[in-house]
Every structure is written in C-alpha cells, then in structure tokens.
Amino acid sequence: MKQRKGLFTLLSLLLVFSLFLAACNSGAGDKPASGSGDKDKPAEDAGEPQMGGDLVVGTIGGPTLFNPMYSTDASSSDIEGFIFDGLVSSDTEFNPTLHLAEKIDVSEDGLTYTVKIKEGVKFHDGEELTADDVVFTYGIPKSPDYVGERGSGFESLETVTKKGDYEVEFKLNKKDASFYPVSLSYGILPEHILGKVPVGELGENEFNTKSPIGTGPFKFVEWKDGEYVKVEKNKDYFLGEPYLDSITYKIVPDQDALLAQLQAGDVQFTEVPGTDIETVKSTFSGVKVESGLGLSYTYIGWNQKNDLFKDVKVRQALTMALDRESMVSSVMNGDGEVAHVPESPLSFAYSDDVTKFSYDVEKAKSMLKEAGWEDTDGDGILDKDGKKFSFSLKTNQGNKIREDIAVVVQQQLKEIGIEVKPEIIEFSAFIEQVSAPNWDFDAMILGWSLSTFPDQYDIFHSSQIAEGLNMTDYTNKEADKLMEEAKQILDQDEYAKKYADIYKLIAEDQPYTFLYYPNVHRVMPENLQGYEFNAKSEYYNIHKWWLKQ
C-alpha cells in the first residue's frame, strides 16, 4: 500500500491556529494565551539548568486512579502525565507532535497508520518499551471485557498488529480525524506487568493505585489518599533526565486553604482563581504569575433522566433565568467570558454562531408556563401534575467559584418559582456519583478540560450514555449523525464547518447551560525556570523545569 512519507501532509490537515482568541472584559481579541504580570520586562538569562529540588504543587481535587485507559478526572490525568508517555503529544499551539513514536506513515485512504517506535525507551522498572506494549495497550479498549469510559475513542480501530519489535500497524474501519491527535496520545502501559491480568479486572487492579509504572519523566513513589501523591525523577527518561528531584502533588481541602498554604510556602505551584490573583500579585512574595485563557469551560448539566429536564423549553428557560454576565462580573471579578457552546475560543473549530439564550426573566417565566409549570397552590414553587419544581444542584467541594455560583443559581431560580438545593461534595465522590452507571444527580456544576483536538462525540453522542461521558442523557439523532460524519473529515476547514452545525443543534437543545470560559492563573516560585505556558497542560514539559539556586 502506498505510504505518505513523513508527517507534513497529515499535520497540515490537523494544524490549528497559532493565534488564540483570548477573553478580555470587553470582548474577545487576537492575542496569545500566555502572559504574566512581568511580560513587558526583558527576559533575563537564567544560566545553565541546575539539578535538584522538590516542587510542591497544590490542588483541591484528589485523583481516583492512575491508568489512562480508565481515569476520567483532571487530577488523575495530571499525575498520569508525570508517569506515562503516549506515541504522540502536542505543542503549545495544539499541533500534534511525535513523542514515543519516531515516525508515523499514513496510507492514502487514511485507514492504515504505521508507527515506528523509538528504540531504547525504558519503563521505570528497567524493561524496554516495545511494540508488544503498544499492541497490549490498544487491545484493552477493544476487548469485549473492557469496562471503562474511553471505548468511544477507539471505535474506528479495527486491528493493531506488531510488525516488528519497534513497529506497529493500526488499521481503521473508517476514517477518523481524531485518531492521530487523540487516540494515539494515550499513555502506553507495560505488557510485562499487566499482560496476564484479565481485561475485565484491569480497572480495579492495584497497579492503578499502588504501583503504576510507565516510561514518563517521573516515577510513582506513594499516594496517601486525601493528602498527597509523590513522584521522583526518572533518571533514564528518554528525553533527558529531569532537573527536579521530585514532585509532591498535594491535595488541599479548599481554595482558601490552598491560598494560605501558597502564601506560607507550603505549596509552591498552583492555579489561583481570578478572584484572588490581584491579592497574590500584590502581597505574596517570592512568586510569579503566568496567565491566559484556559482550554476549558464550566457548565450546569441537566440530567434528562429526571422528568424535570426532559422538555427542551424548560432547559432553555432555565438558561434564560440565569444572569451569566453577572456571574462572570461579580463572582469571578470579570475574569472570564460567558460561554454559549461546548468548545473553547482557542480551538480552530470554535463557532458561536448559534442561538443565544440571553438573560430574560419574564421570557423564562412565560416559557415555563407554556410547558405547564405554574404555582397552583401559592407556595412560591412551580408545580405540574402534583410535582414541585425542586431539585438538588451538586458541585465539588473546595472550588469556591463553583460553590458561589451554586448559591447564585439558587437565588436567581427562586425568583421564577424554582427551588434549588445546593450540595457540595468531595471531588472524587462527586465524580463517582455523577458518572455512569450511577448518574446520581439532578443537576450539577462541573467543567470540561478539553482535548487539543475538538471532538464532542464522547460527551454528546447518544451512544455514550450507557458507559461513556454523556452523563446528562442527551439525545439528538441529527447531532449524532453530524458527529459521526465529522469524525471522517480530515480537512480542517470542512471539519470546522461541520462542527458549526453541530454547535447550533447542541446550543438549541441546551443539555447544558454553558456558563463561562475561565482564564487560568498559574502561580509558581520566582526562581522556577523552563516553564512554558500551555492552555491545556498545566505541567507541560515538566522534565525541563528547574529551580535556580
């Protein structure tokens, strides 16, 4: 079969814009995502990198497990980034880049990917990574016994075959625009350790919590649940020995405690919400700040398994009853941008040419009345067929902005006769409750950290309800069809056009009330060198970070 030599043709199909649309208080404009309070100062020569030091990073969300084929939360993904490597990665502009792969050839019909693996890459136990590990890893989500939420990312994969000790052939049953940048980015697991474990038992194997082993820049040391995860440098890392000796990933109860520990020096690196960033800049010593629009959005998800939220008019009315502009300006101190679609302005596929349900209390009341919701007994709460419009709104403990927004939602919906009962839950317990197969929520405030390649299939396609990430039970057959078609489009412009139509459907249906796109502010030691802002990855190229003494 005729092969394309090198990567130029494929990368040109997948290239994303190098200029990001970053939010500012008065609107959106063309500017890079990175920046800091000292961005106008000339760069200083930091000198030669120095070895040593433990970096303590802080977070309010604890991990659940360390296996990229099974985890779905951001904290687990952070630590997996220290431990595991994928065949491909991406740069600060979201272009796919080779990582464990030395070369990738793609057939003319886009159905065969031949991957040459770099030789000499070692797992943390000293065993060499080979084609056997790649075949094993990609066989997991294809197994009928696989119990995890990542299966949709591999639906197009027909076979994965070892062609040599360092060569693997992937055959697809249909074109898949996300296969190269997304499916090939999953961390490679060690076949020599996990190969004899039945796939149906892999999700619960102690490897995931007690002894994860990968090829990444840092090796797992220990996890004290609710306290910290410790990793130490992998001296044999294939991209070069990391400069930091170790990283302590510290779990802190809430944002206030995290801020206090940052000021005291007990935490050295963390993200700080915009509501606190000026305090940090003006009163904290020995730190610097890097800021930019994050590759994420925050939303309220309406569980359509609950009869309250099955009617699209009701979901539209709920969005119209919420003053999202006020939330951004008051709760977030203007540090973000109101969202209307499930994609970041940083993405090449972003389009907000959709129906926008702006704040309009009277219109919301009218739409609810049309849907049959009225206060028939005069208690101030709408009812229909004997059922009160009352529900719980869950979000994760420690995220002060989300907690505050839950209270604002409670207050604003009370004005139109809806009773909202906020529930604040520890992060890992919250994720378990809202995920398949539990779906234990009425409504929730959560956020998505988005893929560097835009693809809404995992979250909004109806096939992902039973075991995937479609937690709100959203179904739209036309949207399903368009998402399926988009997966087979390799031309970037055509892909973006298709997604413009998809966003129109999702925005009209309002399975989520899209709240905002947040800016991110990363606070770090003043003497930290080698850091490079990446809107997606908080710990981008962490093997290059070092502390100047």
In the chain, what are the domain boundaries? 52-83+216-286+526-548, 85-203, 296-519
Q: What single letter denotes the amino acid at residue 238?
A: F
Contact partners, residue 429, CB within 8 Å, separation at least 6: none
The CA distance from 246 to 191, in Å, is 26
Instruction: Supply the DSSP string of 277-331, one letter for each residue.
Output: HHHHHHH--SEEEEEEE-SEEEEEEE-TTSGGG--HHHHHHHHHTS-HHHIIIII
Instruction: Please give the pLDDT value at position 483.
Output: 97
Query: Contacts by 421-425 with C-beta closer than 8 Å and gap 24+?
Result: 421/390, 421/391, 421/392, 421/393, 422/392, 422/393, 422/394, 422/395, 423/392, 423/393, 423/394, 423/395, 424/394, 424/395, 424/396, 424/397, 425/394, 425/395, 425/396, 425/397
CATH C-level class of 296-519: alpha beta
Contact partners, residue 353, CB within 8 Å, separation at least 6: 500, 503, 504
Q: What single letter denotes the amino acid at residue 347?
A: S
CATH architecture of the domain 52-83+216-286+526-548 equals 3-Layer(aba) Sandwich (3.40)
β partners of residue 32: none
Instruction: Please give the pLDDT value at position 369.
Output: 98
Instruction: Please give the pLDDT value at position 10.
Output: 31
Cβ atoms of 476 and 495 closer than 8 Å:
no
* Residue 102 CA from chain centroid, whole number: 27
Q: Looking at domain 85-203, what is its CATH homologous superfamily?
A: Dipeptide-binding Protein; Domain 1 (3.90.76.10)
The CA distance from 380 to 414, in Å, is 8
Instruction: Please give the pLDDT value at position 200.
Output: 96
The CA distance from 423 to 319, in Å, is 20
Contact partners, residue 408, CB within 8 Å, separation at least 6: 326, 327, 331
Per-residue pLDDT of the chain (549 residues; tens, 9 = 90+): 433 333 323 333 232 222 222 222 222 222 222 233 333 343 456 789 999 999 999 999 899 999 999 998 889 999 999 999 999 999 999 989 999 999 999 999 999 999 999 999 999 999 999 999 999 999 999 999 999 888 888 999 999 999 999 999 999 999 999 999 999 999 999 999 999 999 999 999 999 999 999 999 999 999 999 999 999 999 999 999 999 999 999 999 889 999 999 999 999 999 999 989 999 999 999 999 999 999 999 999 999 999 999 999 999 999 999 999 999 999 999 999 999 999 999 999 999 999 999 999 999 999 999 999 999 999 999 999 999 999 999 999 989 999 999 999 999 999 999 999 999 999 889 999 999 999 999 999 999 989 889 999 999 999 999 988 999 999 999 999 999 999 999 999 999 999 999 999 999 999 999 999 999 999 999 999 999 999 999 999 999 999 999
Instruction: Supply the DSSP string of 430-487, one letter for each residue.
Output: HHHHHSTTT---SEEEEEEE--SS---HHHHSGGGSSSSS-TT----HHHHHHHHHHT
Instruction: Please give the pLDDT value at position 32.
Output: 21
Cα separation of the two ends of the chain: 55
Alpha-carbon torsion (70, 72, 75, 80), positive or negative: positive
Cβ atoms of 512 and 302 closer than 8 Å:
yes
Six-digit token pair at 171?
């055959």
Instruction: Please give the pLDDT value at position 61.
Output: 85
Instruction: Please give the pLDDT value at position 39.
Output: 36
Beta-sheet strands, E only, within 165-314: 167-172, 218-224, 228-233, 246-251, 270-271, 287-293, 296-302
Instruction: Please give the pLDDT value at position 46.
Output: 72
Residue 170 burial (CB count, 10 A): 26
Instruction: Please give the pLDDT value at position 315.
Output: 98
The CA distance from 491 to 500, in Å, is 14
Instruction: Please give the pLDDT value at position 240.
Output: 98
Cα angle 43, 521, 259; round to 5: 115
What's the farthest any 2 CA atoms get from each other in the chain? 75
> Nearest CA to 65 among 57, 73, 75, 76?
76
Instruction: Please give the pLDDT value at position 44.
Output: 53
The CA distance from 475 to 473, in Å, is 6
Query: 108 φ, ψ to 5°?
Result: -60, -35
Same topology between domain 52-83+216-286+526-548 and domain 296-519: no
Instruction: Please give the pLDDT value at position 47.
Output: 86
